[in-house]
Structure 1
Amino acid sequence: MSSEFFDVLNCQEAKNSHMELLKQLEGAFLRIAEYLITRESITFDEVMTLLCKDGIRGELNHDNNNYISALYLILCIVSWQTMLFKPRRIDHMHFEIHNEQGGYRGDAYMCLKIGVASCTRMPLSELLMGFGVLLPSKNLCLSDDEASREAFR
């Protein structure tokens, strides 16, 4: 990970203190999980405001590179928590979901590319629902073998 990824964290010690960076990253990880669980709907901007209130990160302007790095940090943490996607920063205006299948999409024609300006107002639940629709239901058993079907229940 690049150092700018961590620049958004409110580290009190020297920039090269890896333990401080990891501690701050862990704090952000746990706080974001708490925000997602305790709030019915929350946007990226609201997450960043709450992280600032909780002292996890400092104040950011909407125009600077740290703001985009903070958005990317939130996308990465949500992807690690849900294990549904792997975000990738394309440029200073766009994020996309990393294609891990070498271009093969099978029957799926969806390619998710998010503009930075639009994702700040997007509830995280809307982003995640796009992946949830693609997941099989929890009671889905695709095996034709009767013993496997019985064991699945």
Structure 2
Amino acid sequence: MELLATQARRLLFDAGCRVVDGNLLSQPTAQGKGDDSDDAKEAVEIACPTRPVPEEFAFDYRGIWARGYHADQGFVVAAGSELRATETHSLRKNIKRLRADLLARDVVVPIAGVTDRLRFQVDWCFFSAAVAAKFVAGAHVAGTKWVLPRNAPPIGRAT
């Protein structure tokens, strides 16, 4: 049951539901509510960073569920994202080596009961969106496979 609950929370978070995993941004943390000193203001600032949320992209290729965003260092594929387990012959050798390396390091792991997909355990930064697309697809595809999601607005988002 714990595994089921953990996976359900990750899916809800990936779908945009932030209520399960956090405080409302407009309210102080539980620690901040109980403390009337000057430390309470600092606790709220630490718990609610003001940096903007990066624009999230969805992967649009063969039904692979993956999310990513641009960062200062490159393109980040989010934890929980899937990637195709098989590789095409056209995939570059350096991408094949990287896939094998991340699988050996448990950055990417098999999904229980699913034979054709693997899952990212952590956020992973790639040099570019094109390299991330090749890695996730297991094929020589372009970075244009990362698109803005076309679905409805996220559910349960706290404001």
- The answer to whether TM tops 0.5 is no
Which interval holds the TM-score relative to the shorter structure? under 0.3
Query: Taking structure 2 as the reference length, what is the TM-score of the superposition?
Result: 0.24
Give the structure with the larger helix fraction. Answer: 1
Larger strand share, 1 or 2: 2
Q: Which of structures 1 and 2 has the larger relative contact order (alpha carbons within 8 angstroms, sep 6+)?
A: 2
